[in-house]
Amino acid sequence: MLRRELLAAMGGLGAAAALGAGPLAARAEEAAIPTIPGPDPNTRTPVFKAPAGSVDTHTHIFGPAAQYPFAAKRPYSPPDAGLELFRALHHKIGVERAVIVNATVHGTDNRVVTDAIAQSNGNYKGIANINAGMSDAELAALGKAGIRGCRFAFLRRLGGVGDIKVFRTLVDRVAAIGWHVDVYLERGTIQEFVPILKALPVTYVIDHMGTISAAKSIDDAEFKALLDLHANDEKCWIKITGPERASASGPPFHDAVPFAKRLIDNAPDRVIWGTDWPHPNVKFMPNDGDLVDLIPLYARDESVRHKLLVGNPERLFKFDSKS
């Protein structure tokens, strides 16, 4: 894939455009949007007990659509996975704090995130979707509401067409207010993005372990490029998320463990963990209890686990310290 194509595939850069068609055409387009399955409803209680103050740094809330409508032009339609289910999930796995990443299905309407933060007693922070049409005052209001960064998804399947100049302008604007940026990359594009990411004037977080493939060797050139970037650019953080996306063998996703472990060992002060609940667009639907039980396989040292789950996210997302 050419770099100009990658830079055009930035979901989350703009709000959905008006369809400009009649109601029949609108309904036909709505019907063409694929529906994805919901999460495993029978979350297993994990054996591993997360330390007090642990943060799930990558999770979503979907709807309910009656209250928080999905964007008319969206890449998929999920079942509702609202705040009540969100809280129940974290209670079951023993994690008290979370970072809610606004998904592309909600476009640039960030209320589903900010409303949940407002009800969390300081236990939630958020990552927003933004566009160039938002004023400085709107961005400042999001920051006041608990937003700590914004996300750019460089994936064709998530739709959205952006412009590199707009991207750079938005990055400069969020850097000025102390936010970081999340980047979600197409598999196999790390080497292409290294110079772009290194040039960013702001801390950036690479989602889902750089969308690596566990079917490849840990010595694969793409993974080695990710490790080099992570080790040598102090602006680079990585989310230890998505083993179900990386796995070639399926549950319990042990083939992804060596990659996660290597990333944590590579720069233990710049890694964070998350579930990615309710797991949109996955090949293997995980049980979140199983995902929690992978943590001690990723990081066998208790002090490193504390950094991964508590200390690092507190620092990045500006939570009150419980360390």
Which positions are annotated as active-site residues?
276
Indicate the burial class of 30 (C-beta count within 10 angstroms; 0-12, 13-18, 19 or more).
Answer: middle
Q: Which of 226, 160, 170 is nearest to 198 (CA)?
A: 226
Backbone phi and psi for residue 224, each to the nearest 5 degrees, phi listed first? -65, -35
Measured CA to CA, the distance from residue 213 to residue 174 in angstroms comes to 31
C-alpha 75/C-alpha 79 separation (Å) is 14
Helices within the chain (DSSP H only) = 3-8, 23-32, 83-93, 111-118, 136-144, 164-176, 190-198, 221-232, 243-246, 257-266, 288-292, 295-298, 302-306, 312-317
Give the C-alpha separation, 138 to 88, whole Å.
31
- DSSP-based three-state secondary structure for 206: strand
In 3D space, the residue among 161, 164, 213 whose CA is nearest the CA of residue 190 turns out to be: 213
